[in-house]
Chains A and B, each alone.
Chain A
Amino acid sequence: MKMSAILKKEFLVFFRNIGLVVFILYAFTLDIYIAGKGIKVTPRNVPIGYVNEADNLIVNKIISSFHKPEFKKPKMFLSEKALKEAIYNKKIMVGIVFDKEFVKNLLSKKEAKLQVLVDATAAAQAEVTLIYLQNILMKFGNNLKLPATIDIIKLFNPNSNTKWFMSLSELMSNITMLGLVLIAVVFVREKENGTWDIMLLMPVRGSLIIFSKILSQVLILMVGITISIGLIVFGAFDTPINGNLFYFYLISFLFAFAIGGIALVIASVSKSVLEVGHLTIVIMLPLIFLSGAWTPISSMSPFIQYLSYLSPLRYYIEATQDIFFRGSSFMDLLPYLGAELLMALVLFYIGYKKIGRLF
């Protein structure tokens, strides 16, 4: 009863701030759509150029196999010098020189060496582009027969569709950011206005006030997650789900509380909303970028890998990928759920000790 009164008050405060409501709707819909559509990490539309010194038909045949979506239409250059200049001006990323010797060797079925100039500034993309090239070129020349077929199956996401991965990563980053800000502000605004002492003077236990205040914001986040999952992740991007959606809600709920615990600690040490903003940025950046939201943890330096065990986001990300892609069962998810719960409890205790008392 007392709890529902506090919840009602918090919802009222939230919906009075129209600007905030619009911003949160944006963060849960359009922002995730833009990230899913816009960020493509596997190379696409690689601008490619070539010099045809040999003037043989086979060159045209090879060139015609570079096409969309991996490559842009190849541009012809008259000399190697012009090709190099285009690379230096970043007009093209890959330049191929077909010289006379290459064609001679290729036609006489000797090993033909092909000169490829690569702008390797973006190292990872350059490497994958070279792999594309290698695969295309394997078809040409002496009828190559491999001694065994290599059967590569990319599980869970066979076409390497980046939309699914990116939209989920962006969603989890946004939940982290909004969770920290919303929950910390709920407390600090009262502190700033001087109403926090009044709240604590009410005939309600301090821990109940704190819990229901956080619960109100967690519920708002859960509504946001539902909108986002329904409209963008399933609606616009058609993401498959191999596990149980209910588990995703469960881990999201626990994660929101763990983040709420961090926010409570932030709120207890800051005096103004602006300080919350600053502290949130300082805490949020490492949280998001070192928890494996955007790049795999296993290729980070070992020190950061150990550090990331302290981040609730790490468990959330792994669990979410397990649920959506790897289709893990409830038993496999238990460690993640337990870790989130433990972190939430510890952080709540620390935060409550600092903020839940008068004076």
Chain B
Amino acid sequence: MRINVIKAYFKKEVIDLIRNKMIILTYLIPLMILILFGFGIKMEVTHVRTIIIDNDHSKLSLEIINKFSHTKYFDVKVENLTYKEALHKIQTNKADMIIIIPPSFSKNLYKGAQIGVFIDGSFPLRAVTLQGYVEKVLINGFNIKLPIKIENRNFFNESMRDYNAIVPGLFGLIFLVVPASLAAIMIVKEKEVGTIFNFYSAPITKIEFIISKLIPPFLFHSVNIFILLILALYLFDVPFRGNFFIFWIASEIYILISVGIGLLVSIITSTQIAALVLSVVITIIPGFLYSGILMPISSMGKESLIEAHIFPVMYYNHLVYDSFLVGEGFKSGGNILYFFILCAYAVILITLGTLFLKKAIK
């Protein structure tokens, strides 16, 4: 391995990246994903457009309306509609929920009184969550004592903020998809343009070529670790309770895994657009499904649990969530194990890439 050869090739790659404006995308796309997904993906249900039809006009029904109006979950309108008109409002997507309080509701308490709630069920998660909210508010409004009162202590994300749940999970997605596609494009570009023959004929070894090709995406994305971390901490106000160095080193190793995937993609593709599409397709679905953004890994069924263990994103995101929210660090044996699994991934992928890369025409 000759340092000056690597240095020369490395310099060429950096100049190339800046000239063809890929450098903009290297920083723009991670930023965009973090900001768009961070602000855009909302799992909590708020501002539900609720229509309450009060046919009772009693003290109790007013109390119930009051209880609904005083939460951030419901935007309540009291209207005088027939059932059919109200249903049409849901059908035309002008309301999400109707509550119908029948006439002489308060007189019939304990004698078969019935309150009707109609929820637009097209969004399943929203419907299930809403059902729970409504039951809670109504039972609260009836002023009865439940036999068992749940005293829940929330760990890690005490105030149940959506940002704390989603933003850390995005790290595993971003650092899987973006470095892989950049690395793949950088190598395949030479194949497409034809300059790969310089590598075939020049006295540069395979290892030197791979090192000088993979270091630029690796270094550029190392800067992204800090940019995204700062955004997560100050724009989204996510707490950071763990060890910064564990987070940092794990992220560097994870980026190495990603560029390793890019290297493998570059070996089997021959045009830049194919490299881009392939690297995005094979990374974005596991990156999203097994990141823990949509559902916690521990609550997956058997099949998906096995699949989740195949992809590196689960191990990395475990460490990221630990660094941001839990803060156990290497005190917990699981974290150490996951850290070494990540190292093993990086070594295996880069070794495979080195083995399969040919320094000759196929």
Q: State the A residues within 8 Å of B (CB).
A: 19, 23, 31, 34, 38-47, 72, 87-93, 106, 109, 111-128, 130-135, 137-138, 140-142, 144-158, 160-162, 165, 185, 273-274, 276-278, 281-282, 285-286, 289-290, 294-296, 298-301, 304, 318, 321-322, 324-328, 332
Contact = CB atoms under 8 A, between A and B. Distances in A.
B231 interface: no
B122 A160 contact: no
B166 to A, nearest CB: 9
Interface in B263-315: 271-274, 276-277, 280, 285, 289, 292, 294-301, 304
Given A133-B150, A149-B112, A150-B117, 12 more contacts: A117-B152, A122-B292, A125-B299, A149-B113, A149-B115, A274-B276, A277-B276, A290-B36, A290-B40, A295-B40, A325-B122, A328-B92
Contact of A121 (B92, B164, B277): B164
Given A119-B155, A282-B28, A286-B32, A328 B160 contact: no
B304 A123 contact: no
B339 interface: no
Contacts of B114: 148-149, 151
B122 to A, nearest CB: 4
A121 B131 contact: no
B162 to A, nearest CB: 6
Interface in B21-56: 25, 28-29, 32-33, 36-37, 39-49
Nearest to B135: A150
A44 B138 CA distance: 26
Contacts of A45: 299-301
Given A121-B164, A151-B115, A300-B39, A157 B128 contact: no
Q: Is the interface of A mostly helix, strand, loop or mixed?
A: mixed
Nearest to A126: B160
Given A106-B147, A123-B43, A298-B48, A43 B299 contact: yes
Given A148-B114, A155-B120, A123 B33 contact: no
A285 B29 CA distance: 9
Given A141-B148, A155-B90, A93 B131 contact: no
Contacts of A121: 156-157, 164-165, 292, 296, 321, 325
Given A44-B301, A112-B147, A122-B296, A298 B96 contact: yes
Given A141-B147, A274-B185, A321 B28 contact: no
B145 interface: yes
B144 interface: yes
Interface of B: 25, 28-29, 32-33, 36-37, 39-49, 90-93, 96, 105, 108-110, 112-129, 131-136, 138-139, 142, 144-158, 160-162, 164-165, 185, 271-274, 276-277, 280, 285, 289, 292, 294-301, 304, 318, 321, 325-326, 328, 332-334
Contact of A124 (B25, B108, B127, B165): B165
A9 B25 CA distance: 35
A128 B298 contact: no
Contact of A322 (B42, B91, B135, B148): B91
Nearest to A287: B36
A294 B289 CA distance: 13
A38 B291 CA distance: 13
Given A106-B147, A118-B152, A300 B42 contact: yes
Nearest to A94: B152
Contacts of A38: 289, 304
27 contacts: A38-B304, A44-B299, A90-B296, A90-B297, A106-B148, A111-B145, A111-B147, A119-B155, A119-B296, A120-B154, A120-B160, A122-B43, A122-B165, A131-B128, A131-B131, A134-B132, A137-B146, A146-B144, A147-B109, A148-B142, A154-B119, A156-B120, A157-B122, A278-B25, A282-B25, A282-B29, A304-B39
Interface core residue of A88, A140, A147 (most chain B CB under 10 Å): A147
A296 B123 CA distance: 8
A107 to B, nearest CB: 11
Contacts of B90: 155, 326
B91 A327 contact: yes
A123 B148 contact: no
Given A111-B149, A294-B41, A128 B128 contact: yes
B91 A328 contact: yes
A345 to B, nearest CB: 25
CB-CB nearest 3 A-B residue pairs: A141-B147, A131-B132, A124-B43
A47 B147 contact: no
A90 B117 contact: no
A121 B164 CA distance: 7
A307 to B, nearest CB: 10
Nearest to B298: A47
Nearest to B110: A147
Contacts of A39: 289, 294-295
B121 A299 contact: no
B295 A40 contact: yes
A285 B154 CA distance: 33
Contacts of A326: 90-93, 120, 122
